[in-house]
Amino acid sequence: MTGTELTGAGTDTVLSLRGICKSFGAVAALTDIELDVAAGEVVAVVGDNGAGKSTLVKVLSGVYTPDAGKIFFHQEEVSLGSPALARAIGIATVFQDLALCENLDVKANLFLGQELRPWMLDDVAMEKRSWELLRQLSAKIPTLSVPVAALSGGQRQTVAIARSLLSEPKVVLLDEPTAALGVAQTAEVLNLVERLRHNGLGVVMISHNMEDVRAVADRVAVLRLGRNNGVYDAGEVSSEEIIAAITGATDNVVSRRAAGRLTSPRAEKEEL
């Protein structure tokens, strides 16, 4: 297998990270991170507490500027700078806390925090756009005028994901989208993830839950202590293998494999 196949970098690659490093004082939260996400692909990013998952989301969403490394969007190097800029480039993020306003209704939440566009002053246009966003997700929200406080956890996640689609992104980052949800609501959210893939978006899903990962991921990227610890084809890897990579039980094996893998994408970096 070539390095290209292993990292997934190909013509339909939307987002690529090469050599991303981010430290907080003496803590190296991310070291030499490589990641590729293609259109219509769900990449799960898994790892133990402190592995660097949230830091990675914040780098990808423009909250943190990496200390080193490059981010490519459609093969072009980009500097994300801020969440607004990342969104404008085509990377939208649903943060773990969702940041919804409980007292506001669904429609108000869909447009919350987005750059004002002229048509947003038009209530009818906003209503139309709201339904469009929800339809893209085949979402089951009966009315736009109910306060978010009255919605279930799954419906809130739906609103947060629908909101992320307002900027018409090519990549959506989901940080632990099912962490607080029960079985039925988790299934509902995983359906949304399938919809995003079906609509041709690249999806990066941070998760702790092996069942969720197995249910929707095409590839699984393991972070351990802020470093890549294997990228697996979800159809070919067992949950045990993923867990072993998360906990470090296979560190020796994986680092030998990773050493082989990392040489090719590095060489490729020059060509990107």
Burial 96-110 (b: 16+ CB within 10 A, else e): bebebeeeebbbbbb
For the sheet with 13-24, list strands across it. 27-38, 13-24, 68-73, 76-78
If we measure between CA atoms, which residue out of 199, 136, 207, 141 comes closest to residue 171? 199
Between residues 51 and 215, which has the closer beta carbon with respect to Mg ion? 51
Q: Please choose which of Mg ion, ligand ADP, none residue 50 contacts, taking the beta carbon within 5 to 8 angstroms, the exact cut-off set by kind.
A: ligand ADP
Confirm or reject binding of residue 24 to ligand ADP (CB under 6 A): yes
Confirm or reject binding of residue 178 to ligand ADP (CB under 6 A): no
Between residues 27 and 85, which has the closer beta carbon with respect to ligand ADP? 27
Q: Which of 11, 49, 143, 252 binds ligand ADP (CB under 6 A)?
A: 49
Q: Please choose which of Mg ion, ligand ADP, none residue 222 contacts, taking the beta carbon within 5 to 8 angstroms, the exact cut-off set by kind.
A: none
Cβ 53 to ligand ADP shortest distance, Å: 3
Cβ 23 to ligand ADP shortest distance, Å: 8
Which range binds ligand ADP by CB under 6 A, 47-55, 73-81, 140-148, 232-240? 47-55
Cβ 101 to Mg ion shortest distance, Å: 23
* CA atoms of 127 and 129, how far apart (whole Å): 5
Query: For residue 123, with 0-12 CB atoms within 10 Å meaning exposed, 13-18 middle and 19 or more buried, which class applies?
Result: exposed
Alpha helices in 69-152 (DSSP H): 83-89, 106-111, 123-136
The answer to whether 231 and 219 have CB atoms below 8 angstroms apart is yes
Cβ 63 to ligand ADP shortest distance, Å: 10
Cβ 223 to Mg ion shortest distance, Å: 10
If we measure between CA atoms, which residue out of 166, 150, 50, 32 comes closest to residue 111? 166
Question: Can you tell me whether residue 99 is helix, strand or coil?
Answer: coil
Lookup: tokens for 83: 């969440």
Distances (CA, A) of 241 to 13, 215, 229, 233: 26, 16, 11, 11
Between residues 110 and 244, which has the closer beta carbon with respect to ligand ADP? 244
Site string for Mg ion, 39-58 (x = CB under 5 A): --------------xx----
Between residues 25 and 142, which has the closer beta carbon with respect to ligand ADP? 25
* CA atoms of 221 and 245, how far apart (whole Å): 10
Q: Please choose which of Mg ion, ligand ADP, none residue 109 contacts, taking the beta carbon within 5 to 8 angstroms, the exact cut-off set by kind.
A: none
Per CB under 6 A, residues contacting ligand ADP are: 24, 27, 29, 47, 49-55
Per CB under 5 A, residues contacting Mg ion are: 53-54
